Chain A
Amino acid sequence: MNRFTSITVGIGEFLYLLWRTLKSIKHFPSSSEKFLFQVFDMGNRTLPVAALIALSIGSVLALQTGIQLSGYGIEDKIGGIVGISLCTELAPVMAAILMAGRVGSSITAEISSMKVYEEISALETMNIDPVRFLVLPRFLACLVTLPFLVIYMDLIGWLGGSLVSSMNQTISVSFSSFYNDLSQVVKISDISVGIIKSVFFAIVISISSCSIGLLASGGPREIGNSVTKSVVASFIAILVLDYFLTRLLILVGLL
């Protein structure tokens, strides 16, 4: 299969699994325990690194922008600029990349290993739908976790920005004026832009990593290949989707 057909087939498999997952949502009550476990696991895997990334991005963003702004004497605009960039673009994309790298990869590893070692077939012989049993709780957990991760990264990123702005001699914008400007510029709609993006990213990450895992076939070597494939597919999808989502959100007037 050449690259073009395999991408087309991959998208087809993605949409088919998404459809089956949505259809199985009515079984959610019976998998709520698995869902909670997944939420906990996803939080565990992402929160510490997310804090580090957000703090670093917020600080560097404030440092670079703040020094430029102070050249024009308008460094008091720093809060708004850092606030907007983080919540509409940087936090959702970084959160999604982190989610794909830490959570999506482990979902694919787990599911492809279950496929290769016939655990999925065993479920089928017991009339247990692997979509309901495996995909649904991961899908819903990702859908809930990622938006929270974005808000969490917004807050920590802003904190990083405000710390640097107040401590850096050249910028020297106080905590309160940073947040004052931020609160005037950043609107609820800007925060929801990040959250809307993250919902789409969550769908893409969870379904594609499950789909690629379920399609694994052959020996144990396939597990490694599937994980690589899953991370690459998620990264590309996140970046491409980000562009089109941004255009769409501009179109509907949210940006």
Chain B
Amino acid sequence: MKKFRLLKVDEVTKGFNGKTVLERISCEFFNNEVHVILGKSGTGKSVLLKMIIGLIKPDLGKISIDDQDLFENAKENDLILSYIFQSSALLNSLTVIDNVTIFLDEHNVGSKQERVTKAYGILSDLGIQDAANKMPSELSGGMRKRVAIARSLIISPDILLYDEPTAELDPINTKIISQIIDKLRDTNTITQVVVTHDIAFAYSIADKISILEDGKIILTGDKDAIKNSKNALLEPI
């Protein structure tokens, strides 16, 4: 079942303290695709995702789902978005399993037993069920990232936003994250938006790639089209 066709960022402008970060940026994310936004550090990738998830309000412009304002109609479209922070942002005072069940706990979804069972299922899909009773501080960066993904997956999101998911990870963990994204794509139920500055990682997961530069999307297209575009930003250093 298709819950939506198109998530659209339309001419959105955002600045801080008089300095414009994103200027009339537009981009489109279609259902079930893995769309990677490539850009250097400080170009506003996190700001863009935080506006889509609603943590930051745009100064101008609109974010819409199938031409309906994403926030005004939040109740009606009952679309679930989830954001995976670059820092993972796990609650450090809770165990892994409590971090994963927190949404269900706080919104009283199902019985405690059902929540825990569901969480264990997701943790074992991601290969980290052994960490269930550990505290976040005991985990490596790669495991923390997977716990953050589990915490997002438990709410069955329609749209999953990843903020530089491999930024502090070694090649093996980067590979694990790409495999998770691939597997989720195969479920055909989830739209994944990934921002990163890692070109190789982008090529390994993307259906579509957009390049963010100086507050604007300067190029967007299917992975192969972008690969062949010979854009200077994509040249190996």
B149 to chain A, nearest CB (A): 13
A-side contacts of B82, CB under 8 Å: 125-126
Q: When the two chains form their complex, are residues A122 and B93 in contact, meaning their CB atoms are under 8 A apart? A: no
| B90 sits at the interface (CB 8 A) | yes
Given contact pairs A110-B93, A126-B155, A117 touches B87 in the complex (Cβ within 8 A): yes
Q: When the two chains form their complex, are residues B106 and A125 in contact, meaning their CB atoms are under 8 A apart? A: no
Separation of A125 and B82 alpha carbons in the complex (Å): 7
Q: When the two chains form their complex, are residues A119 and B92 in contact, meaning their CB atoms are under 8 A apart? A: yes
What mask results when residues 102 to 128 of chain A are scored 1 for a CB within 8 Å of chain B, else 0?
A: 000000001001100111011111111
Partner of B89, one of A30, A110, A122, A133: A122
> Across the two chains, which residue of chain B brings its CB closest to A124?
B55
B-side contacts of A119, CB under 8 Å: 89-92
Q: When the two chains form their complex, are residues A121 and B89 in contact, meaning their CB atoms are under 8 A apart? A: yes
What mask results when residues 105 to 135 of chain B are scored 1 for a CB within 8 Å of chain A, else 0?
A: 0111000000000000000000000000000
B-side contacts of A117, CB under 8 Å: 87, 89, 92
Q: What's the interface size class on A, roughly?
A: 10 to 19
B155 to chain A, nearest CB (A): 7
A-side contacts of B102, CB under 8 Å: 126, 128
Q: When the two chains form their complex, are residues B107 and A125 in contact, meaning their CB atoms are under 8 A apart? A: no
Size of the B side of the interface (Cβ < 8 Å), in residues, is 18
B73 to chain A, nearest CB (A): 16
Separation of A117 and B85 alpha carbons in the complex (Å): 10
B-side contacts of A121, CB under 8 Å: 55, 85, 89
Partner of B91, one of A114, A124, A125: A114
Q: When the two chains form their complex, are residues B107 and A127 in contact, meaning their CB atoms are under 8 A apart? A: yes
Given contact pairs A117-B87, A118-B87, A133 touches B106 in the complex (Cβ within 8 A): yes
Interface centre among A114, A126, A128 (most CB of B within 10 A): A126
Separation of A121 and B50 alpha carbons in the complex (Å): 10
What mask results when residues 173 to 208 of chain B are scored 1 for a CB within 8 Å of chain A, else 0?
A: 000000000000000000000000000000000000
Separation of A169 and B83 alpha carbons in the complex (Å): 72
Separation of A123 and B91 alpha carbons in the complex (Å): 9
Interface residues of B in 72-113 (CB under 8 A from A): 82-83, 85, 87, 89-93, 102-103, 106-108
Separation of A121 and B53 alpha carbons in the complex (Å): 10
Q: When the two chains form their complex, are residues A125 and B53 in contact, meaning their CB atoms are under 8 A apart? A: yes
B-side contacts of A128, CB under 8 Å: 102-103, 106-107
Interface residues of B in 41-92 (CB under 8 A from A): 53-55, 82-83, 85, 87, 89-92
A-side contacts of B55, CB under 8 Å: 121, 124-125
A-side contacts of B91, CB under 8 Å: 114, 119, 122-123
Q: When the two chains form their complex, are residues A118 and B85 in contact, meaning their CB atoms are under 8 A apart? A: yes
A-side contacts of B106, CB under 8 Å: 30, 126, 128, 133
Interface centre among A30, A121, A125, A128 (most CB of B within 10 A): A125
B-side contacts of A122, CB under 8 Å: 85, 89-91
Interface residues of A in 181-238 (CB under 8 A from B): none
Given contact pairs A30-B108, A121-B55, A126 touches B89 in the complex (Cβ within 8 A): no
Separation of A121 and B155 alpha carbons in the complex (Å): 17
B-side contacts of A123, CB under 8 Å: 91
A41 to chain B, nearest CB (A): 11
B-side contacts of A125, CB under 8 Å: 53-55, 82-83
> Across the two chains, which residue of chain B brings its CB closest to A120?
B89
Separation of A113 and B106 alpha carbons in the complex (Å): 21
Separation of A12 and B85 alpha carbons in the complex (Å): 31
> Across the two chains, which residue of chain B brings its CB closest to A126?
B103
Separation of A122 and B55 alpha carbons in the complex (Å): 9
B-side contacts of A127, CB under 8 Å: 103, 107
Separation of A123 and B155 alpha carbons in the complex (Å): 13
B91 to chain A, nearest CB (A): 5
Give 13 CB contacts A-B under 8 Å. Answer: A113-B92, A117-B87, A118-B87, A119-B90, A121-B89, A122-B85, A122-B89, A122-B91, A125-B82, A126-B102, A127-B107, A128-B102, A128-B103
Using CB atoms and an 8 Å cutoff, list the residues of chain A in contact with chain B. Answer: 30, 110, 113-114, 117-119, 121-128, 133
